[in-house]
A and B are shown apart, each in its own frame.
Chain A
Amino acid sequence: MIHIENGQNIPENETLRVYSETGDYNDSDFIEFYNINEPGIIAGAFHAQYVKYGSLVYMFNDPKELGEEILKIDRESTHTAASFVRMQNELLIKLNGGELEPQSLQEVFDNEQEIMEDRISENEEIIEDISNSNVEDGLTEENVTENTKTEIPVEDIIENLENVPETEILEEKVIETVPEIIETEIIPEVTPSTSLSEEIISYARNRKAKKIKNNLI
């Protein structure tokens, strides 16, 4: 999830500002923007990840590489790729420290989920302290706090767009599959056409299952 604020600058575009409501968005959710020279017109939309991090997010083919680059500039990033790298690093620490247990994967997932939720909550608290919009050019006048949502369905955030990407919630995926990975030695293949989130999760699963298996042999 990525936190976007109404009125924030769009990277690499001096005259563009966020028009979408302040909130937390999935990496590929559309964020509408306007040009400060024509503030009444929604000129286009970028993915939330681009609005947050700029063209960096499109310079890497491997989610792991992307996550590492994001963490260099934002240690507390809630981007899916950054989350994946944190989880992977955590597991590696446990592995190298001889602390890797069958339940470690679940623990890491749970911990990361808490981190993500905490950071989302922090953003919400910050927003609640703001009494007025921080938009430079007066496009949005209502109190931003009224738009704050703690649990914003994906469909609501992008209600104006026809095609809503279905994003699977991380924790549900973990609960369903982790026990199977530990018990079996079959490593499922990553499906090329899956979303980034699914790829990262599957990738993490595969890497850790392999290491667990190797340790157990």
Chain B
Amino acid sequence: MALRAAEHIFTGEKTLYSSYDHTKTTLGDLIQQRSGSNVLDNFAGPMPIGLARPMEASTAIAVAYPHVIKFSEDLHWVFAIDNGTAAATRRVVLYEYNLLTSVFTWKGFITLTFPTATNHTVRGFRVVREIYSDGTASVDGTSVTGTGTNWDSSRLSVGSRIGFGSKDPTEINDWYEISSIGGDGSITLTTNAGTISDGPYVIEDLMLIISTTNATLTNGGLFVVKGINYNTFSIGGTTIPSATTVDRIRAVYWLTDASTLTNTISCGAAIEPMTSWTEHNVYVIDGTTTTNRVYVYNIRASLSLTSGKSTNAFVLVTGAQTPTGTCSQANNGRIASLSHGPGAGENCLYFVTTTRVYRARLTNITSGNTLWQSDAMVEVPPGGIVTYPATGALSSVEIADRIDRLIIISSGTAGARSYVTKYNTISDPFDHIFLVDDKQFDQSTTDSNAVSHPAISASILSVWSEDGVCYICRNGTTAALNNIYAIPLASHWSYAGINGNNQRLVTPEIYTPNINQFLRVYVNSSKQLGSLTMGLPPEPYRVYYRTSGISDNTGLWESLDDTGNMEGIGSSDSIQFMFEFKTIGSFCIPARIYSITVIYEDNTTDSHYQPSVAHSSTSTKVFAWRFSTLFGGTVPALRVRLYDAVTGGLILDDNTTSSTSGTWQKSTDGGLNWGAYDTADKINETTYIRYTPTTLGDNIRVRALLTQN
């Protein structure tokens, strides 16, 4: 038999997992097949890392606390807030992140004028985007008339944007800004929209939620920005005024718990899913130690304002309950309903102290309750503290809902690493530890041979996970240290195949005709990105195969080890391979696969022998071959199979080791003399072997196949 190779290069047609096609390369939505002019630009693997440089934008703004909103399957909006020296104003920037190209595009910024003009330090930053599309709407110039709409009673804001013709924002081509809301069925636009007949429409309600502490203690607290939209963010910056007495316009509103604020030591703000257009709660953790408590505000409450300030949104405050450790003030607190752990299936507030991750069941967050904390998880690194020391520097927690895990970020002090893990209260070690402090800068002047990756650089990190993409911000204040990275966290191999995540790379069906047996698989992939000096290795991957259930995607996958050995695997006329990738690692640089090749033996005559017509005989039913190529040693066991050439059926199967169905013979003088068969290697060009079956029927067209056993 001959050795054959079947290869697949990742440059062909592709499809998403949801549209599986066994003739194409199949990709999870975080897995991509990229192409480019350079041969090394043509690869498949998890999406490459994206990088933003906020301090190198046209207006340099050091940012922190990214909050990401998925606008479409391929486009994310990335918001982040001013992290510079405390001031009376704070700026919010907006990037668009294109998942297909891994490119951040700076849209612009807005400047917030707080109702208190003393210096604010941001402790929590969140963004809320809700879509209103009830009923239908028609337009005549700047006048919009609604049918079945409740625009006013739903407390939508002036300054929001509205689009017509669809309820899906991604299908809107022309957006218009709302200049006034006259009632539940009446809106006025800032610009003329012409005449649009009654039909579907969509309003984007965008709000910013900011909790601060202030140089004057009682001037901080919770602030919301209403009446903004995507286009408010501009290159030159749009300044948002402080509110005074009017609600639901483009302004910054101060939501306080009392005429003299007591919510003065904010640690962060966590947002509960919206209950209704008139109820949407935000939970502000307050106090770092002995006064740790939670304030709850309804950000959609109707406000009665004095100088931009209102107590109408305040719902309740718990009593104080001292946690173990010091509660972080770095955007601390997230609400989630995990599918595991003691909080499975219920909305809980997760937050961190320096040494613990806390959980508080939302139903326990009640007025004056001093037992509002439910339980806590101790920091136990993977492998235990005998493998990695506990950092004692936990800074914030984020929810990676695609993989049902927590992302726990440390302060980065002394290069402290971060984690991804389940929530548990039994002191089980965390699942993953990731990121390293290699001090590499990722500014535009960095050597192009270096590879961008989220280095800790002894900095506080802040993080948001959106639809499987983890956005990591290094909260520096210089161009060298302030960056935002986007990594495909949810494509990590531990979670690639669970709960419909499907973050795998699958080859098309690869055909292996006339196969006798599989031998080995070889993968061509990137060993290092960047230069020899500054390059870094990508994270590893693992390979699987299947030989059945290919056409309908039902076949189970079997893993292959790093040797790629496939001997012993049952032969099949086709095979398919699948890759899973590690993305939660030290550098988080995803692997790049260029091609995969499977080596197999086919069922043609062994290449060391040639069929001999001269010494074969149909009358005596003898089958002979010339020994044409040296083995270079002892001849291995040979196998002969006789097939009915018409039907393909196997007539006889015998071998030289334990021959039971015929006789093997050998000649070294061109067939003049035949002796007993032996395993000596070829000695001359007149060496022949032959096989004579003990019995063989007549009038059969026979195909004889000589292979190694």
- A residues whose Cβ falls under 8 Å from a Cβ of B: 12, 28-30, 32-33, 37, 41-47, 50, 54-55, 58-59, 61, 160-163, 165, 192-196
In this assembly, does B660 line the interface, its C-beta being within 8 Å of a C-beta of chain A?
no
One of B240-248, B617-625, B630-638 contacting the partner: B240-248
Q: B172 on the interface (CB 8 Å rule)?
A: no
Distance in angstroms between the alpha carbons of A89 and B237 in the assembled complex: 29
Complex Cα gap A160–B242 (Å): 14
With both chains docked as a complex, state the minimum distance between the C-beta of A157 and any C-beta of chain B, in angstroms: 12
Interface pair B119/A42, CB less than 8 Å apart = no
In the complex, residue of chain B having the shortest beta-carbon distance to the beta carbon of A59: B59
Query: In the assembled complex, which residues on chain A have CB atoms less than 8 Å from the CB atom of B215?
Result: 193
What residue in chain A is nearest B252 (Cβ atoms)? A44
Cβ of B307 and Cβ of A160 under 8 Å apart? yes
Q: Is the CB–CB distance between B119 and A193 below 8 Å?
A: yes
Query: How far is A45 from B179 in the complex, measured between Cα atoms in Å?
Result: 18
Q: Which of A28, A46, A55 contacts B236 (CB 8 A)?
A: A55
Other A-B pairs beyond A45-B115, A45-B243, A45-B307, 8, CB < 8 Å: A41-B245, A42-B245, A43-B246, A44-B241, A55-B238, A58-B91, A162-B307, A195-B118
Residue B60 contacts which of A30, A61, A162 (CB distance < 8 angstroms)?
A61
Please, how many angstroms separate the alpha-carbon atoms of A98 and B41 in the complex? Answer: 62
Check if A192 sits within 8 Å of B113, measured CB to CB.
no
B242:A55 contact, CB within 8 angstroms: no
Query: Known: A58-B237, A163-B216. Is A192-B117 also a contact (CB below 8 A)?
Result: no
**Which of B59, B244, B309: most chain A Cβ within 10 A?**
B244
- The proximity string for B residues 276-307 relative to A, scoring 1 for CB distances below 8 Å and 0 otherwise, is 00000000000000000000000000000011
Give the residues in chain B near A194, CB-CB below 8 Å: 119
B143 at the interface (CB under 8 A from A): no
Task: Tell me if B244 and A32 are in contact (CB < 8 A).
Answer: yes
Known: A50-B113, A163-B219. A44 touches B309 (CB 8 A): no
B88 CB to closest chain A CB (Å) equals: 5
Distance between A198 CB and nearest chain B CB, rounded to angstroms? 11
Residues of A within 8 A of B61 (CB): 61
Question: Residue B150 at the A interface, CB < 8 A?
Answer: no
The answer to whether A55 and B237 have CB atoms under 8 Å apart is yes
B597 interface residue per 8 A CB criterion: no
A196 to chain B, nearest CB (A): 8
**Which residue of chain A has the shortest Cβ distance to B246 in the bound complex?**
A43
Interface of B is mostly: loop
Return chain B residues, CB-CB under 8 Å to A193.
85-86, 119, 121, 215
Nearest 3 CB-CB pairings of A with B: A44-B241, A58-B111, A55-B237
Chain B residue at minimal CB-CB distance from A161: B307
* A161 contact set on B, CB distance < 8 A: 115, 307
A28 touches B117 (CB 8 A): yes
Q: Distance in Å from the Cβ of B477 to the closest Cβ of chain A?
A: 9
Task: Say which residue of B119, B121, B243, B308 sits within 8 Å of A195 (CB atoms).
Answer: B119
Q: Choose from B85, B179, B246, B309 the contact partner of A162 (Cβ within 8 Å).
A: B309
* A44 and B249 contacting across the interface, CB-CB below 8 Å: yes
B62: A residues at CB distance < 8 A: 61
- Interfacial chain A residues near B89, Cβ < 8 Å: 47, 58
Q: Is the CB of B307 within 8 A of A44?
A: no
CA distance A37 to B89 in the complex (A): 27
Residue B239 lies at the interface, judged by CB distance under 8 Å to chain A? yes
Q: Are B117 and A47 in contact (CB under 8 A)?
A: yes
Give, as a whole number of angstroms, the nearest-CB distance from A155 to chain B.
13
Minimum C-beta distance from A49 to chain B (A): 10
Note all chain A residues with C-beta closer than 8 A to B85: 61, 192-193
- The residue in chain A whose Cβ has the minimal distance to the Cβ of B90 is A58
Contact status B238-A45, CB under 8 Å: no
Known contacts A58-B111, A193-B215; A44/B243 CB under 8 A: yes
B251 on the interface (CB 8 Å rule)? yes
**What chain A residues lie within 8 Å of B347 (beta carbons)?**
none
Which residues of A are found within 8 Å of B59, using beta-carbon distances?
Answer: 59
Q: List B contacts of A59 (CB < 8 A).
A: 59, 236-237
- 9 A–B contact pairs at CB < 8 A? A30-B117, A32-B244, A42-B246, A44-B246, A45-B113, A45-B241, A46-B113, A59-B59, A165-B118
Q: Find residues 50-99 in chain B having any chain A CB closer than 8 Å to their own CB.
A: 59-62, 84-89, 91
B237 touching A43 by the CB < 8 A rule? no
Tell me if B610 counts as interface (CB < 8 A to partner A): no
Verify if B116 is at the interface (C-beta below 8 Å from A).
yes
Q: Are B60 and A43 in contact (CB under 8 A)?
A: no
Alpha-carbon gap, A55 to B87, bound state (A): 15
By the criterion CB–CB under 8 Å, are B242 and A30 in contact? yes
B residues in contact with A163, CB < 8 Å: 115-118, 216, 219
- Which chain B positions have C-beta within 8 A of A195? 118-119
Residue in B87, B118, B249 whose CB lies within 8 Å of A43: B249
* Complex contacts, B236 vs chain A, CB 8 Å: 55, 59
Contacts of A33 in B (CB 8 A): 241
Q: Render B95-120 as a binary contact track against A, CB cut-off 8 A, 1 for contact.
A: 00000000000000001010111110
| Interface residue ranges of B208-259 to A (CB < 8 Å) | 215-216, 219, 236-239, 241-246, 249, 251
Separation of A33 and B241 alpha carbons in the complex (Å): 9
| Minimum Cβ distance to chain B for residue A208 (Å) | 22
- Select from chain A the residue with minimum beta-carbon distance to B59: A59
Q: A162: nearest residue on chain B (CB-CB)?
A: B307
Q: Chain B residues near A61 (CB, 8 Å)?
A: 60-62, 84-85
A41 to B61, CA, bound (A): 34
Cα-based distance from A192 to B86 in the complex (angstroms): 7
- A42 to B244 CA separation, bound complex (whole angstroms): 7
Question: A50's closest neighbor in chain B, by CB?
Answer: B239
Q: Choose one: A41, A45, A50; the contact of B308 (CB below 8 Å).
A: A45
Known: A58-B89, A59-B236, A163-B219. A29 touches B117 (CB 8 A): yes
Residues in B neighbouring A32, C-beta threshold 8 A:
244
| Contact partner, B242, options A37, A46, A196, Cβ 8 Å | A46
B118 touches A46 (CB 8 A): no
Q: How far is the CA of A193 from the CA of B215 in the complex (A)?
A: 7
Query: Which residues in B have their C-beta under 8 angstroms from that of A160?
Result: 307
Q: For the complex, what is the distance from the CA of A179 to the CA of B87, rounded to whole Å?
A: 29
Question: Across the interface, which residues of A come within 8 angstroms of B245, CB to CB?
Answer: 41-42
Closest residue of A by beta carbon distance from B259: A162
